[in-house]
Chain A
Amino acid sequence: MFRVKPAKTGVLTALCFSALLVLTGVSRGHADDVPVIEIAARRFAFTPDKITLKKGQTVKLRLRSEDVTHGFFVRPLKIDEEIPAGQTVEVTVTPQTAGTFLTICDHFCGANHGNMYMTIVVE
Chain B
Amino acid sequence: MNPYRRSFLKFAGASLGVGVLYSAYPSALSQGEAGSMFAELGRASGERVAPFSFVQLSDAHVGFSGPPDPLGTKAFERAVDMINALPQRPDLVLFTGDLTHDTEDRDVHVQRMKQFQEISKRINVPVIRHVPGEHDAGLDGGALYREFFGESHYSFDHRGVHFVALDNVSRTKPEVGAEQLAWLKKDLARFSKTAPIVVFTHRPLFDLRPDWEWFTSDGDDVMNVLSAYDNVTVLYGHIHRDDEHVVSGAHHYAARSLIFAFPDPTGVAGPRKPLPFDKDRPFKNLGIRAVSFNGKPQPGSSSLSIEDIELTAREFRGINGTQQFLRSPNV
At the interface, yes or no: A63 with Cβ under 8 Å from chain B?
A: no
Indicate whether A106 sits within 8 Å of B173 (C-beta atoms), given known contacts A73-B210, A101-B211: yes
Q: Report the minimum CB–CB distance from B213 to chain A (whole Å).
A: 6
Count A/B pairs, Cβ under 8 Å.
42
Specify which chain B residues have a CB less than 8 angstroms from the CB of A111 in the assembled complex: 101-103
10 smallest A-B Cβ distances: which pairs? A108-B138, A102-B211, A75-B210, A108-B134, A108-B172, A117-B271, A107-B173, A107-B172, A106-B213, A106-B173
In chain B, residues 243-273, which have Cβ atoms closer than 8 Å to a Cβ of chain A?
A: 270-272
**Which A residues touch B103, using CB under 8 A?**
111
Output the least CB separation between A53 and chain B (Å): 17
Q: A110 touching B211 by the CB < 8 A rule?
A: no
Question: Interface extent on B, as a size class?
Answer: 20 to 34
* Docked complex Cα distance between A75 and B219 (Å): 14
Contact B211 A80 (CB under 8 A): no
Contact check, A74 vs B211: say whether CB atoms are below 8 A apart: yes
Check if B101 sits within 8 Å of A114, measured CB to CB.
no
Which residue of A is nearest B211, CB measured?
A102
A105 to chain B, nearest CB (A): 9
Could you tell me the distance between the alpha carbons of A75 and B172 in the complex, rounded to whole angstroms? Answer: 18
Distance between A121 CB and nearest chain B CB, rounded to angstroms = 13
The listed residue with most A CB atoms (<10 A of its CB), out of B101, B138, B174, B211, is B211
Interface CB pairs A-B, < 8 A, 8 = A102-B211, A107-B172, A108-B172, A108-B173, A110-B104, A113-B138, A114-B213, A114-B272
CB distance from A19 to the nearest CB of B (A): 31
With a CB–CB cut-off of 8 A, which chain A residues contact B139?
A: 108, 110
Residue of A nearest to B104 (CB): A110
- Nearest-neighbour CB distance to chain A for B135, whole angstroms, equals 8
| Contact residues, B100-114 vs A (CB, 8 A) | 101-104
- For A110, the chain B residues whose CB sits under 8 A away are 102, 104, 139
B169 near A: Cβ within 8 Å?
yes
Name the residue of chain A whose CB is nearest to the CB of B273. A115
Q: How far is the CA of A79 from the CA of B271 in the complex (A)?
A: 18
CB distance from B72 to the nearest CB of A (A): 16
B311 CB → nearest A CB, Å: 24
Cα A71 to Cα B172 with chains together (Å): 10
When the two chains form their complex, are residues A102 and B271 in contact, meaning their CB atoms are under 8 A apart? yes
User: A80 vs B175: C-alpha distance in the bound complex, in angstroms?
Assistant: 13
- Looking at the complex, which one of B134, B174, B207, B270 makes contact with A102 (CB distance below 8 Å)? B270
Q: Mark B270-310, 1 if CB is under 8 A from A, else 0.
A: 11100000000000000000000000000000000000000
Cα separation A107 to B217 with both chains bound (whole Å): 12
Chain A stretch 109-123: residues in CB contact (< 8 A) with chain B: 110-111, 113-115, 117
Q: Does A104 contact B (CB under 8 A)?
A: yes
Inter-chain contacts of A102 with B (CB < 8 A): 211, 270-271
CB neighbours (8 Å) of A80 from chain B are 217
Q: How far is the CB of A29 from chain B (nearest CB, A)?
A: 28
- Within 8 Å CB of A108, what residues of B? 134, 138-139, 169, 172-173
